[in-house]
Homo-oligomer: A and B are copies of this chain.
Amino acid sequence: MKGNVLVGQSGGPTAVINSSLAGVYKTAMERGFTKVYGMRYGIQGFMDEQYVDMSEHIKNELDLELLKRTPSAFLGTCRYKLPEIHEDKAVYERIFELLDKLDIEVFIYIGGNDSMDTIRKLYDYSLLVGAKQKFVGCPKTIDNDLAITDHTPGFGSAAKYIATSTKEIIRDAMGFSYKKKNVNIIEVMGRNAGWLTGAAGLSRSEDCEGPDLIYLPEVAFDIAGFVQTIKDLLEKKDVIVAVVSEGIKTPEGKYVCEYTAGSSTTDAFGHIQMTGTASYLAQLVQSELGCKTRAIELSTLQRAAAHMASRVDVDEAFSVGGATIKAADEGSSGVMVVIDRVSDDPYQSTTHVFDVHRIANDEKVVPRKWINKAGNYVTEEFLDYVRPLIQGHYTPMMVEGLPRHLNVNMKDYDWVTDTKSKK
Contact = CB atoms under 8 A, between A and B. Distances in A.
Contact of A301 (B169, B210, B279, B373): B169
A416 B73 contact: no
A307 to B, nearest CB: 6
Contacts of A377: 420-422
B72 A13 contact: no
A175 interface: yes
A113 interface: no
A296 interface: yes
Nearest to A50: B178
Contacts of A295: 275
Interface in A318-348: none
Oligomer: number of copies = 2
A172 B423 contact: no
A269 interface: no
A197 interface: no
Given A207-B407, A399-B205, A402-B205, A286 B263 contact: yes
B236 A419 contact: yes
Interface in A382-422: 387, 390-393, 398-408, 410, 413-417, 419-422
Interface string A49-75: 010000000000000000000111100
Nearest to A265: B292
A172 B304 contact: yes
Contacts of A9: 175
Contacts of A391: 400-401
A349 to B, nearest CB: 16
A202 to B, nearest CB: 7
A208 interface: yes
A305 B164 CA distance: 9
Contact of A212 (B203, B402, B413, B420): B420
Interface string A182-200: 0000000000000000000
Contact of A77 (B175, B213, B239): B175
Contacts of A303: 172
A208 B405 contact: yes
A406 B44 contact: no
Given A174-B413, A209-B417, A423-B379, A307 B45 contact: no
B297 A239 contact: no
A382 to B, nearest CB: 11
18 contacts: A50-B178, A72-B172, A73-B175, A164-B402, A168-B301, A168-B305, A168-B306, A172-B303, A202-B401, A209-B415, A237-B419, A239-B415, A261-B261, A265-B292, A294-B299, A297-B297, A392-B401, A393-B398
Given A171-B304, A171-B405, A174-B413, 5 more contacts: A167-B403, A205-B402, A239-B414, A294-B300, A390-B401
Nearest first, the 4 closest Cβ-Cβ pairs linking A and B are A41-B178, A390-B401, A72-B171, A73-B175
